[in-house]
Structure 1
Amino acid sequence: MSSTSTPTPTATRWPALLLGVAIGGFFDGILLHQILQWHHLLSNVDAVRDMRTQVLADGLFHALMYLIAAGALVALWRRRRVLDAPGVGRSLWAQALIGFGLWHVVDALLSHWITGIHRIRVDSPDPLLWDLAWFAVFGVLPMVLGWLAVRRGDTGSSAGGRRAATALAFAAVVAGPVAALPTGDGDQVMVLFAPGVSPVAAFDALARVDARVRWVDRSGGLWAVSMKEPRAAWRLYGSGALLVSNSAVALGCFSWSKAL
C-alpha cells in the first residue's frame, strides 16, 4: 500500500508572509520616505546630522527589503507545484496581508516607541496620534483581515493559486524600480557630493552647469539646485558628485528628496 502527500496551502505560508513583509517595507519607504517625505529611517537620531548617512540608512533599509523579497520569491518558486492545490490563492493573499500588517506593527513597536529612531510624522506637534493611526490602519487592520481569511479555511478552487502568486511577485518586483524613479520635477536637482569635496568646490562645480542653489544641508554635502538644463547635471560626476537625482544612476529616496 503506497501513500502520496497532498499539497496544502500551509506549504506557502512563510513565503507569502515574507512577501507581505517586504511589500509592507517597500510601501513604507516609497510613501513615507520618498513621496510624502515625513521621515527618514534615522530622522530622530541626534548623532546623525549628515544627509549622506540618512540616505545611506534609507538605502540599506530598501536593500534589506530586496533580500527578504528575493528569499520569499525563491521559496515560493520551489513550492510552485503546491500552487494548484485548492485554497492556495486565498491562503497566499491572507498570509501576505498578515505579513504586510506585521511589518507595520514591528516598525511601530521598535522604531517609533522603543528606539524612537523616527516617527510617522517627525514634524507633527502630536506624533503619537499619527503613529497610532498608522499602526491601526496599516498594521492591525491588515493582520485582522488576513487572520479572518485564514480562519475561513482552505476550501476553494485550484485556479487562484498561480494568479495570487504572480500578483504578489509582480508587486514585490515592481516596488524596487518604482522606489528608484525620480520625482519628475524638471526644475529641481538634488546633488550629493563625495566626502572631501569642500563647499567652495561644490559651489564652483554647480556654477559651471548654471545651477542656482536653493538649499544646502549643514554638512555641505547635499545640495538642492535649480537648473535650466537638468540634462547637463551628469557633468557634475566629473566634479566629485556621488549621486545626481535627475541622472540615470540616481537611487531610491535620494531621487525623491526635495528642498523644504
Structure 2
Amino acid sequence: MSFENQKDTYKRRNLWSGILFGLGLIAFLDEMVFHQLLRWHHFYDQSTTDIGLISDGLFHAFSWFATIGGLFLFADLRRRQAVWLTRWWAGVFLGAGVFQLYDGIVQHKLMRLHQIRYVENVMIYDVIWNVGAIVLIAIGVILLRRTNSNKKQGSVSEHA
C-alpha cells in the first residue's frame, strides 16, 4: 500500500473510531441518566414496564458494542502509531451529535418510541435536546474541517 493510501486509510479509521466511540458514549449517557437515574422513559415506552426494561437492556448492549468497537479501532491506531487526536475527537462529537439528533427527531417524534419526558409541555425538552445535538455536530464539523485543511500532513502520527 502506498504512503498516500495508507494515510487516507488511517484518516478514515481515526474518524470512524471516534464516531463509534461518540455514538456509544452518548447512548450510554442517555440510557444511564434518562432511563435509569431520572427514570423519565424507556427505550420503548409503548408497552409494559417489563418490555421497556428489556428494550433498555438491548439499548445498553448496543451502546457498549459501539463504544468497545470504537476503542478497538483506537487501540489498533495506537499500535500502528497512527492516532490523529483532532480527527478522532471530530468523530466523537459527530457520532454523539448525529445519534442524539436521530434520537430526538426519528425515535422521539417520527417513530414515537418514547418522549424525553412525559410532561404537558415536552417542546422545551425537545428543543434543548435537538439544539444540544446540533452543537455537538457543529463542534465535530469544525474539528473535522481543521484536519482537512491542515497542510502539514507528513505522517498521521504527527497529529497525535
TM band (smaller chain)? 0.7 to 0.9
Q: Does the 8 Å contact 1:104/1:135 carry over to 2?
A: yes
**For the structure 1 residues 15 and 128, does the alpha-carbon distance in structure 2 shift closer, same or farther, using more than 3 Å as the test?**
same
Q: Does the 8 Å contact 1:38/1:121 carry over to 2?
A: yes
Q: For residues 113-152 of structure 1, what are the structure 2 equivalents within 5 Å?
A: 113-122=109-118, 124-137=119-132, 139-152=133-146
Instruction: Give the structure with the larger strand fraction.
Output: 1
Which runs of 5 or more residues in structure 1 are unaligned? 162-260
Q: For residues 52-201 of structure 1, what are the structure 2 equivalents within 5 Å?
A: 52-80=50-78, 81-84=80-83, 88-122=84-118, 124-137=119-132, 139-153=133-147, 155=150, 158=157, 161=160
Identical-pair percentage: 25
Deviation, 1:82, is 4.5
* Larger relative contact order (CA 8 Å, sep ≥ 6): 2
> Radius of gyration: which is bigger?
1
The CA RMSD over aligned residues, in Å, is 2.3
Q: Does the 8 Å contact 1:97/1:146 carry over to 2?
A: yes
Counterpart AA for 2:128: A
Aligned position for 1:188: none
Deviation sequence 1:121-158 (CA, Å, 0-9, x none): 11x11112211211111x11000011011112354895
**Using the alignment, how far apart are the partners of 2:18 and 2:127 within structure 1?**
26
Length-normalised TM-score, structure 2: 0.82
Counterpart AA for 1:93: W
Q: Does the 8 Å contact 2:81/2:157 carry over to 1?
A: no
Deviation, 1:70, is 2.2
- Across the two proteins, how many residue pairs are aligned to each other? 151
**Using the alignment, how far apart are the partners of 2:81 and 2:98 within structure 1?**
24
Aligned position for 1:41: 43
Q: Does the 8 Å contact 2:90/2:139 carry over to 1?
A: yes
Length-normalised TM-score, structure 1: 0.53
**For the structure 1 residues 67 and 13, does the alpha-carbon distance in structure 2 shift closer, same or farther, using more than 3 Å as the test?**
same
Instruction: Give the structure with the larger helix fraction.
Output: 2
**Using the alignment, how far apart are the partners of 2:92 and 2:21 within structure 1?**
6
Q: Does the 8 Å contact 2:13/2:73 carry over to 1?
A: no
